[in-house]
């Protein structure tokens, strides 16, 4: 059977062009619908959802502020918080009084003990009550305090103590006691000794042997110390 194409080439081109046009129009309609949908969603999100969300957040903020303001203890709470935030700085500036125990171990002769130690930060003074085996040991203790130096990292010739005074002294001759000599020593100290930001090292004169040399700090203090 024979078939003849009676349509001219121009007709075939027209049909293809028409089919392509329909495809382009259909694609354009679909793209337009998608774009309009996205635009509508964006509009709803910005002008309705976000606006309503901002309104709710503003209401919550206002309610929270009013609730806080209604607290009658608000000023006290803020005062406590401010005080707590200032504590680290206060602690860093406060004197490190605990160094006195190490200092006394380095300064006190091995034949002397301390029964009472009182520190007065307002006058930068220290008072020591204790006992020793002899007056010679007590005098060595006094001289050690007088001639001691300290190193703060920048200088090694600093004087830690001044106005060292043997306030009182008594002696009882007892063969059963190692602290026949009772004494009271008062002196002033350089506040730098207890500065938290400085590293302090005492330079003790070689007048007598102390517990720091014998590694016996546990027998120095005979009762609770006072600050």
- The one-digit pLDDT tens for each residue of the chain (227 residues) are 555 555 566 667 777 778 888 888 888 888 888 888 888 888 888 777 787 888 888 888 888 877 777 776 667 766 766 666 665 665 566 778 888 888 998 999 988 999 999 999 889 999 999 999 888 999 999 999 999 999 988 887 899 999 999 988 888 876 666 678 899 999 999 998 888 878 888 888 876 666 555 455 546 666 554 44
Question: Quick one: pLDDT at residue 53?
Answer: 81
Which pLDDT belongs to residue 59?
83
pLDDT for residue 225: 47
Answer whether residue 4 is part of any domain.
no
Q: Residues 96, 194: contact at Cβ < 8 Å?
A: yes
Helices and strands per DSSP (H, E), number in the chain: 6, 6
User: What pLDDT does 29 receive?
Assistant: 84
Considering the domain architecture, whether residues 61 and 170 belong to the same structural domain is answered as no
The structural domain count of the chain equals 2
Is the same domain home to 65 and 106?
A: no
How many CB atoms within 10 Å of residue 133? Answer: 17
pLDDT at 183: 94
Task: Give pLDDT, residue 208.
Answer: 61
pTM: 0.55
Query: Minimal CA–CA distance to 145: which of 52, 210, 64, 194?
Result: 210
Asked whether residue 49 falls in the same domain as residue 110, the answer is no
Same-domain status, 159 and 105: yes
Domain carrying residue 145: 99-219
pLDDT given for residue 177 in this prediction? 63
Q: Does residue 145 sit in the same domain as residue 188?
A: yes
Say whether both 112 and 215 belong to one domain.
yes
Helical (H) or strand (E) element with 132: strand 125-132
Establish if 129 belongs to a structural domain: yes
3 falls within a domain: no
Tokens of 1: 């059977």
Among residues 62, 60, 58, 39, the alpha carbon closest in space to that of 50 is found at 58
Asked if residue 50 belongs to a domain, the reply is: yes
Is position 132 within any domain?
yes
């Amino acid at each position: 059977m024979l078939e003849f194409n009676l349509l001219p080439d121009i007709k075939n081109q027209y049909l293809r062009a028409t089919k392509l046009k329909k495809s382009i129009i259909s694609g354009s309609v679909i793209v337009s619908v998608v774009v309009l949908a996205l635009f509508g969603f964006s509009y709803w999100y910005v002008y309705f959802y976000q606006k309503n969300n901002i309104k709710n957040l503003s209401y919550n903020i206002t309610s929270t502020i009013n609730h806080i303001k209604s607290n009658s203890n608000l000023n006290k709470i803020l005062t406590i918080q401010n005080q707590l935030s200032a504590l680290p700085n206060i602690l860093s500036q406060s004197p490190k009084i605990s160094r006195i125990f190490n200092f006394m171990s380095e300064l006190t002769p091995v034949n002397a003990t301390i029964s009472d130690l009182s520190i007065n930060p307002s006058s930068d003074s220290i008072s020591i009550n204790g006992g020793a085996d002899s007056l010679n040991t007590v005098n060595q203790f006094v001289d050690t305090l007088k001639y001691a130096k300290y190193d703060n990292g920048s200088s090694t010739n600093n004087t830690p103590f001044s106005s060292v005074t043997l306030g009182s002294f008594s002696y009882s001759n007892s063969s059963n006691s190692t602290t026949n000599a009772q004494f009271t020593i008062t002196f002033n100290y350089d506040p730098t000794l207890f500065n938290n930001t400085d590293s302090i090292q005492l330079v003790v004169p070689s007048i007598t042997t102390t517990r720091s040399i014998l590694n016996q700090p546990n027998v120095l203090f005979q009762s609770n110390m006072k600050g």
